[in-house]
Amino acid sequence: MPLIDTKPEPATSRRRWWRDLTACGGVLAISAGVFHTAAAVVMRRDVWAQIIDEGFFKTVTLDPSPDRMAVAEAFWFSPGSFGVPILLLGSLVTWLTRRGQRVPGWLGGGMVLWAVLIGLLGGFDFGTIVLLSIGVLLAAGGWTGRRRP
């Protein structure tokens, strides 16, 4: 009996995959998620050392006392922030795009609205511009993907 290859083949060629706006948005999201999470951990490494020394479980509360504020801030700046979800979203987008599946444009539109809200409330810094760029790329890729035959 011959062996059957069950590994799915990407539906798009590597060359075409990299030219897709949605794929560019996915790669940018992966890069932003990795950078934000890693930079946040490195910037707060002294607090993370304290957390590890004290014991990892139940060290963060939603209502921290003044002496625990640095621990809560390190958590919400690292794993509790948007870095990990953006990394996962970018991974999903690139996975779908490599298989030739369209990512809906509304996903990018939602990211654009989120980035604009963050920018209006906290200022349009580099991170907000990156989120806005990811949203625009995903929305544009979803819109142009819908128009292709």
Residue ranges per domain, the chain? 21-147
> How high is the pLDDT of residue 45?
92
The whole-number pLDDT of residue 146 equals 57
Chain CA centroid to CA 124, Å: 18
Can you say whether the dihedral through the CA atoms of 67, 123, 41, 95 is positive or negative? Answer: positive
Q: Cα(105)–Cα(119) distance, rounded to whole angstroms?
A: 21
Structure tokens at 27: 């790669």
- Environment class of 3 (CB within 10 Å of its CB; exposed 0-12, middle 13-18, buried 19+): exposed
- SS3 string, 26-75, reads HHHHHHHHHHHHHHHHHHCHHHHHHHHHHCCCCCCCCCCCHHHHHHHHHH
User: Per 3-state DSSP, what percentage of the chain is helix, strand, and coil (rounded to 5)?
Assistant: 70, 0, 30
Q: Can you give the pLDDT at residue 100?
A: 87
Q: Which residues are CB-contacts of 28 (< 8 A; sequence separation ≥ 6)? A: 90, 130, 133, 134, 137
The residue to which tokens 């060629």 are assigned: 13
What per-residue confidence (pLDDT) applies to 18?
59
Backbone angles phi, psi at 98, to 5 degrees: -65, -25
Predicted TM-score (pTM) of this structure: 0.79
Mean pLDDT, contiguous 10-residue spans, the chain (149 residues): 55 60 93 93 91 84 88 87 93 92 92 96 94 95 67
Rg for the chain (alpha carbons), in Å?
Answer: 19
- What pLDDT is recorded for position 2? 56
